Amino acid sequence: MTNIDKFSELVKDQFTYGGVKYAPKNSTKREATDELFDKHGKNWLIGTVDKYTYRYSNIKGSDLDYKAERDLLKVGCYMYILWLKRGFQITKKGIDSPPLDTNVEQKAKYYSEFLEVSKKDLIKNQLFYDKTKFSQVSSELAKWSKKDWIKLAEADLITVYNIIFMEWAKHYATKTKHDTDTYGKEQAK
C-alpha cells in the first residue's frame, strides 16, 4: 500500500467513525456537522479545522507527539467534508447554495472521486508540496474565512489536503500503528 493510500484509508476511518459518533438521533440524512454548519456558518467549520492545525503545532515534538497524528487526519477529513458541502462532486465549479449535507452514505459514495482529484494534483505539484510548510495552512484557512462561500475553490481544498498528506507522510507513514482517535484504542490501525 502506498503512503497516499494509507493516509486516505485513515481519513476514511475518520469520517466513517465521525458520522456514527456525531449523528443526530433518528437521522440518517444529516450529521452534527450539517446542523452546526447551518447554525454557525462556514467559519465555524473552518475554525474547527484551524483548531486542529494549532493543536498539531503545539504538540508536535512534545511528550504528546503520539497524539499529533490524529489532528492531521481530522484536517484531511474536513477538507473532504468541505469539498462535499461545496458540491464539487456535482460540478467542478461547485454549487452556489445551499451547502450540501454530508452523511456517511454521501461521504462513502464520492470519496474515490475526491481522491482521484487529490492524487492528480499531488503528482502535478509534488515539488510544490515538498517545499510547502504545514505552518502555511492556518493562514490559508484565515483567508477562507474572509471569502464568500461560493469563492472557496476546489483547488483550495485539494491543496490543503495534499499539504496535510505530505506532513503526515514525513512524520507518520512508517509507523506500524496509527493514532486515529476512532473506534477506541483497541482498534488503532
Q: Per the omega criterion (within 30 degrees of 0), is the bond before 24 cis?
A: no
- The residue among 119, 105, 74, 111 whose CA lies nearest residue 89 is 111
User: Burial of 138 by CB count in 10 Å (0-12 exposed, 13-18 middle, 19+ buried)?
Assistant: middle
Q: Is 182 within 8 Å of 188 (Cβ atoms)?
A: no
pLDDT tens per residue, range 108-119: 999 999 999 999
- Over residues 52-66, the pLDDT tens digits come to 999 998 887 776 666
Per-residue CA distances from 139 to 4, 50, 53 (Å): 24, 9, 10
Take residue 31 and report the three cell numbers written for it. Answer: 450529521
- Distance separating alpha carbons of residues 142 and 164, to the nearest angstrom: 16
Higher pLDDT, 96 or 84: 84
Give the rounded percent of residues in the chain with a pLDDT score beyond 70: 89
How high is the pLDDT of residue 188?
46
The three-state secondary structure class of 18 is helix
Q: Where are the domains positioned within the chain?
A: 3-173
